[in-house]
Structure 1
Amino acid sequence: MIKKIISGKSNVKNFINQIIDGNTKINITIEKEVDKILEKVKRNGDKALIYFAKRFDKCNIKKNEIKIKVGEINKFAKKCPKSIEKALNFAASRIKKFHKFQLPKNYKYSDEKGVLMGSKWMPISSIGIYVPGGTAIYPSSILMNSIPAKIAGVERIVMVIPQKDKNLNPILAKAAQISMVDEIFRVGGAHSIAALAYGTKTITPVDKIVGPGNLYVTIAKKKLFGKVGIDMLAGPSEILIVADKKNNPDWIAADLLSQAEHDINSRAILITNDLLFGKNVLKSINSILKILPRSKIASKSWTKNGGVIIVKNFSNVDDIINKLSPEHLELAIDKPDNFFNKIKNAGSVFLGRYTPEAIGDYVAGPNHVLPTGRTARFSSGLGVMDFLKKTTFTKCSKKSLKLISSQAIKLAEAEGLYGHALSIYIRNKI
């Protein structure tokens, strides 16, 4: 039986510090390897993509097979089970409804000097969505990344996905159709990120790249930021649950394992004020692991990164939460809305005993692409705003310029920028 009880102020503090310190580690070896991959794609384009597809994904593709043709996509999508198609459409409708509320408004106004000013929102022209391969398929991620982009008005949405053969999963193909993805390419990994940023003969570069991937993908996005926009540097999935003894231990155990099953580096933590309840959750975890299809991954994740923190009461638990700044936070307690008011740092919060985090992964509506690795301290989950850019504007008349120019000239001269001052001054001489 796996035992992961952490109690006592010093032990809890050490456990939290270990998590915080662990988020700062850098893998130099992988960084150097990613550098080589990016450079090869930059120099060799499609040729490099074909080479890396064979090397990393064991997929033999020709140049004319890098892009999946529309006819192929349609063929694959037709094989999607009708029940799954129905579920995808249900999820898409809820995601659309939620994200439409995020659309900002343009504004303009004239001040008392007669200067017209304002702000105008415009969509990014093109984006690339990275869809992970690995041990699971993620049609929900296609919906979560592309639907907000379409709502924002993005004209071109492309998708890259690693493949071990040339057959696109029918469920992913259908999700791409529902999400109105324009182009799909049979490449993944750091080399696909390089292709989206630099472009090749087959892949036209995009303005921004979104979607989580493995460490190679994350490092590639980090290194290419500036050449191309990125959404975030996503790490392993996380969940932090605050729960009391009124909960069913099986429910909480299932919630913890829902994140642990993602990846062996995922993190799942429970905070409770009842030792017996914590022990019962551990028993439930061990029972569920015996029957969970992805138990090998979940077990390694829980053993390596999981834990049950025991506290006397929940009065200061918000301090722990705000320090850890989790990707997902469940508040399975009485009056969760009141407790939520004390939370400053969390990617997405799930309130009450009947709101499992997993419902947010699929059909709740809010986005499931969320900040990890404590980055919720300064960033937010993906949304419509990530696909928009704001341009401000100013319009002066001859009269209004004269009314405000003297102070501008003084500031320009104070900075020693006399060309700036002259640019304003000469207009007032007319």
Structure 2
Amino acid sequence: MGSQTYWKIFLGTVVLFQYVPRVLRIFRVWSKVDKSTTIFKAVSWLNAGNYFYLYLFASYVLGAFWYFLSIQRLMDCWHVACKRNKGCNPSSFFCDHDDGNHIFKKEWCPVKTPDSTAFDFGIFREALQSVKASPFLQKCLFCSCWGVRNLSSLGQNLQTSPYEWENVFAIFVTILGLLLCLYFIGNVQMYMHLKKNRKLELTYMDKDDKARMKAKEKKAEEWISKNQLPDHMKKEIMSCIRQKLGKKEDIDTENPFPHLPKHLSTEIRRHLCLPQLKKVPMFQEKSEKQLHLICDELKQVYYNEDSYIVRQGEPLDRMLFLTQGYALKFRSGETALRRSIGKGDFIGEQLLTWGFNGSSAPNLSELPISTETIKTHNKVEAFALLANVLRTLVPKVQEVDTVKSEAVQKNTPVEGNLESYYTALQRHEHLRSEIEEGDLVD
């Protein structure tokens, strides 16, 4: 009997407290989305809708707790009634015992016609009356409705019994409803206030400021058009640019890439560079996940007109993937053999031989020597795979190859192993970036 009771309490505690890490996870993810996703900041009604969804979700969870505790309270009534009736064995309520004589339950634990003198169910009486032998959907909707009503009213209509844990639950409902109202309504009001201030700033902005803002927005749109980015990226980029311009931040809209959130810059980088990576002979046998690893490490670089990217005879410390502009490749004494390269081309492939074909870790003192000079013809935008980045990237890419070969030898699904490794690696990189960003903010 004692061990069964302890197990019941333990399992009930597990059911209740499993929601704690889930709720913490929801708010952690939501805070990241709220800080990093520009579209949530720009559209106030979208924020209101998401906060309203979280409010409904909290009501649903609270209703689930209420239903769960009502069943527990009914079982408590059974045990109390069993003690009052001779011939009743309390252990008969557990699964590993034979059924006993439980006719007394209807007399001592009436649900349809409650009798508080026999047993007071308090706030759980309504659950036992309304959801008994009801379809699942009806139970779910009724409990959710109960949660919404009592959260919105801060639990003012709850008529509790003297049972101490029932009163604790009622107090929890009141406090939770108050906190959610303060948090959700306060945040919605904040976003509405920000939107109103934004409109006032635009209203009282002088003509020169408006003209400069429009000109910068036009430059950003030209950059988007040149790079042929899809519409969903364009909307998010322009939302971010307008938000920063509204705060009067000094940004270069001719090249807005460095000013974009990390998730958006990663998406743009893959859109621009993955097709070029697949053209590189050494990368043609690499998997999509390996290409993503390489692509995510590319750094945007910018060269002015008539500037040298690399000279013949100098160490080659980067591989470039051109996205805008033109450059000339030539060798000393062979000016007639100049070749033009532009958007979609890549240069510096010798660096990959240095990085991937060596038997030991790449050494920066042994960088390959450029056999030709590369000079820009006009302004050039590109993404660079730097030598010092390639050194740390090579082991990660080779590790994916190792996972693949081991999976083949063991006759296990290759994709599943790669997925597991890649997911773990992404989590590690994401955690590192979070720590770095947190340090920068602090």
TM-score bracket, shorter-length normalisation: under 0.3
Structure number with higher strand proportion: 1
Relative contact order (C-alpha < 8 Å, sep 6+): which is higher? 1
Please report the TM-score for the alignment, with normalisation by the length of structure 1. Answer: 0.20
Please report the TM-score for the alignment, with normalisation by the length of structure 2. Answer: 0.19
